Amino acid sequence: MFQIPRRPRRNRRTAAIRELVQETTLSVSHLIFPMFVVEGSGIKSEIKSMPDIYRFSLDTLLEELKEVTDLGIQSICLFPNYPEDKKDKLATESYQQGTLYLQALSTIKEKFPNLTLMTDVAMDPYSSDGHDGYVENGQIINDITLEILGKMAVAQAKAGADIIGPSDMMDGRVGHIRSVLDAEGYTDVSIMSYTAKYASAFYGPFRDALDSAPRFGDKKTYQMSPANAREALVEAQLDLEEGADFLMVKPALSYLDIIKLLNDTFDVPIAAYNVSGEYAMIKTASQNGWIEGERAMLEVLMSIRRAGAKAILTYFAKEVAQVQNG
């Protein structure tokens, strides 16, 4: 019989050996939990297209955060849901003092000072047009948008944000935001740029959560084509030169090659957003008994880490923490 000189199965023989040689790790410290805040009180409203994910009023959000932080989750990203009567073409609600989102940020920072607080910078939650940028005659006007995003970023930093997350995909927004933050003295506030944000079909449940779908057209003039990989290198190089501290890929699961490409090319932390549609697919399949939900969840997140993501925004963060805490 042929003598087999090397037997890789030896390193898979027992659970202890498999853990000993494991190449990639996944822990709660790698995860950022996206959460949603709405006006009102006593509200905990499940998002139908995102099972087990809720919109919270500030009072119930604070209660939830106690449980979240007790589980060991160290970072969240907060998104606001605004009623239509608070939206306008200039997204003025995004930077006026005392508004829902800014009040929520400052209260969270006061109650949970050690929690890393990431924010979203884009016009769509506040815009009557539902787009990430300023709309004029049916066109997204890049440079006018930058001025609005800068005001938004400064207001969020003032409210206690640790990481600013520009998700708009306007040209030059990282440089403009870095400039205004520094000018206002917020040099320690980080920027996690949505560097390669694709015009994806996987965002639907998130738009349900925020009621922020575009009122006309689509977002293909500013979000990237799913067909393009090399373009991500251009966006990443620009964001890095403009002052980004993290480069993010969104979505994650269909763009593992982009995560790896950026991680192999740039010497800064790469983040990835395991988006709402990816989450909903696993949750729905699990609820119907088609897959083992917990195993699929961990496998997907491990694949994102294996591709090179140092940080993962995921709606599974709380479930992972519960699994790892036993």
Q: Which of 87, 151, 197, 318 is catalytic?
A: 197
Q: Which pLDDT band holds residue 132 (cuts at 50, 70, 90)?
A: confident
Per-residue pLDDT tens over the stretch 309-324 = 999 999 999 999 999 9
Q: What is the pTM of this model?
A: 0.94
What integer pLDDT is reported at residue 207 of this predicted model?
Answer: 74
pLDDT, tens digit (0-9, with 9 covering 90-100), for 167-211: 999 999 999 999 999 999 999 999 999 999 999 999 888 777 766
Query: Tens of pLDDT along 270-309?
Result: 999 999 999 999 999 999 999 999 999 999 999 999 999 9
Task: Quick: pLDDT tens for 216-238.
Answer: 767 888 899 999 999 999 999 99
235 is in an annotated binding site: yes
Count how many Cα atoms sit within 13 Å of the Cα of residue 185 in the half-sphere of its side chain. 2
**Residue 128 · residue 88 · CB < 8 Å:** yes
Give the percent of the chain with pLDDT over 70. Answer: 98
35 confidence band (pLDDT: 50, 70, 90) = very high
Please answer whether residues 296 and 286 qualify as being in contact, where contact means their C-beta atoms are separated by less than 8 angstroms.
Answer: yes
Domains contained in the chain, CATH given: 24-324 (3.20.20.70)
| The pLDDT of residue 217 | 66
Concerning whether 283 is annotated as a catalytic residue, the answer is no
Surface-to-core class of residue 7, CB atoms within 10 Å of its CB (0-12 exposed, 13-18 middle, 19+ buried): exposed
Backbone angles phi, psi at 76, to 5 degrees: -130, 160
Is residue 158 annotated as part of the catalytic site, yes or no? Answer: no
- The residue from 86, 250, 283, 318 that is catalytic is 250
